[in-house]
Structure 1
């Protein structure tokens, strides 16, 4: 009868299992450690890559910066602080403010509205004026003379209105003052408007006006003799239009021309010729002369001290006749 030695075999198997277990356990431990190390290293690489990608990504102006959070995936993030703007910062000046481009604005000086001619003349300017200029107040003395019929050095002829005056030789300026209207004011407050039709020769001083007796008596008694005054150029509301007159003896070979009834002082007079406009010289007796007659009888262009030009056509070459021109200078 065979006897199975189960006990010995079991003991041998147990012994083999006992030997293998200590060997297997360290091997398993090594494998587990290696796996853990690989997992841990891989996780670190993943987190670093996520952080670098967030840091390296450009942040547009107005977008928040982000940082990885332990509770989020690499594609999730929480707001931590505002991101620096990529917008260009303007250059700062020494004063600490951004520079501003300069812009020039034309300066304007508005004219003060006024209902009086004198106030208007005080704010006017003229580039063609001689010694007597708009917006200038002149000082001098007033004297008186017997004006007769009102004719004088300006050769306007008899005057229907004797509110006239003779300008001193200096300010007369070779007839440039002829026809000018001036506002005269005395120290006592009395004021008059007169038209310049004559010249007061030396020793009349600059600023002096020799008034007709009719005009002087409006300011003070004739017995005063010399009266301190101030006066300014005026651009009055004169009625009517100006006229052109050829001097005695004028023809197509020689002519003298004067302007009558003009509101503002006349600066220049020109004649149209085949070569264009010809500027004539002015005499002390208030005529513009064309010694060779070139342009006489043709179109005439008159310019006042404010630069306004009036062109007059159709004036017949008839001496000693005042030809109405149907035009007038503007009021200033």
Structure 2
């Protein structure tokens, strides 16, 4: 009996040990599983690397279009280049530049826009009437500052220095009216130096006599530019001393005042500078002896070929400016 009870106790201890061991094993397994779950494996280590790389690449890339500041395109050559009016252009560019300038909106301080038909005129403009005085001088053979030489027609005048404008008035025809109603048409062939005032004309004795007695000496007048009816044509003359290395060119007999004279060179048309003695100079000889192009104050251009480089020879052409 005693042995039976002892065996029963031994069996109970064994069961408890087995249950404890099993429980320990279960707990140990749970702990191992928990540790393995919490410890990152190889796949978890590989994951963050590309994520970090992507993050870095996003920081190094430029921002997306919504975050970009607008970028202005650099100005084109056409928009950056001023009107041909502000910089020294060719004849066609000069006219275009002048048109662009006059088309700009005027300000209150801007002068009144000149008529398009006289955009190349200087101080003396068509359809304008100028007040002044007429004086008288002995014109001799009719030669003067414009360098035309002797003249058979003595209906001539000298223009005051201001309106002479470095010989721009040379060859202009002017209608002069006196207060008594008398009038005379004269051609500008000379310059009246200071103290001749703006608006003043110094008339030859022959021309002054058409308005008043020569002994009067000085009268009030008004005058205006003319584009006369004439059957004559324009002539060209090279100045004495002209050569292929230097030349001066003069146009004579033109109906309307000249705005410019150009010569044809290897690089195109070249505008020559006008002197106060009414010749257009080519200091290096370029274009001397070649084609000549002249433009009047109304913008009409005439091209003249076949003029030989012969100093002092008056060579007629077959062309003339239109009447206005």
Tell me the TM-score normalized by structure 1: 0.63
Query: Partners in 2 of 1:180 and 1:124 — Cα distance?
Result: 19
Query: Partners in 1 of 2:167 and 2:217 — Cα distance?
Result: 26
Q: How far has the Cα of 1:124 moved from its partner?
A: 8.5
SS at match of 1:125: helix
Q: What residue number does 2:221 align with?
A: 229
Q: Map 1:233-252 onto structure 2 (within 5 A).
A: 233-252=225-244
Q: What residue number does 2:296 align with?
A: 304
Contact 1:271 1:300 in 2 (8 A): yes
Query: Based on CA coordinates, which of the two structures has the bigger radius of gyration?
Result: 1
Q: How far has the Cα of 1:224 moved from its partner?
A: 1.2
Q: Map 1:61-72 onto structure 2 (within 5 A).
A: none
Query: Partners in 2 of 1:266 and 1:152 — Cα distance?
Result: 18
Q: Map 1:30-45 onto structure 2 (within 5 A).
A: none
SS at match of 1:162: coil
Match of 2:315 among 317, 320, 323: 323
Q: How far has the Cα of 1:215 moved from its partner?
A: 0.3
Contact 2:117 2:299 in 1 (8 A): no
Contact 2:262 2:269 in 1 (8 A): yes
Query: Partners in 1 of 2:158 and 2:251 — Cα distance?
Result: 18
SS at match of 1:152: coil
Query: Partners in 2 of 1:217 and 1:295 — Cα distance?
Result: 44
Unaligned runs of 5+ in 2: 1-114
In the alignment, structure 1 residue 131 sits paired with structure 2 residue 114: no
SS at match of 2:118: coil
In the alignment, structure 1 residue 155 sits paired with structure 2 residue 147: yes
Q: What residue number does 1:217 align with?
A: 209
Query: Partners in 1 of 2:255 and 2:304 — Cα distance?
Result: 16
Q: How far has the Cα of 1:271 moved from its partner?
A: 0.4
Distance 1:197 1:188, change over 3 A: same
Query: Partners in 2 of 1:305 and 1:139 — Cα distance?
Result: 21
Q: What residue number does 2:194 align with?
A: 202
The structure with the greater share of residues assigned to helix is 2
Query: Partners in 1 of 2:171 and 2:309 — Cα distance?
Result: 23
Match of 1:277 among 266, 269, 279: 269
Q: Which runs of 4+ in 1 moved over 3 A?
A: none
Query: Partners in 1 of 2:175 and 2:291 — Cα distance?
Result: 34
Contact 2:237 2:313 in 1 (8 A): yes
Match of 1:181 among 173, 177, 189: 173
Contact 1:136 1:233 in 2 (8 A): yes
Contact 1:139 1:207 in 2 (8 A): yes
Give the alignment's Cα RMSD to 1 decimal: 1.0
Q: How many matched pairs?
A: 210
Match of 1:266 among 249, 258, 268: 258
Q: What residue number does 2:133 align with?
A: 141
Q: What residue number does 1:165 align with?
A: 157
Query: Partners in 1 of 2:195 and 2:159 — Cα distance?
Result: 12
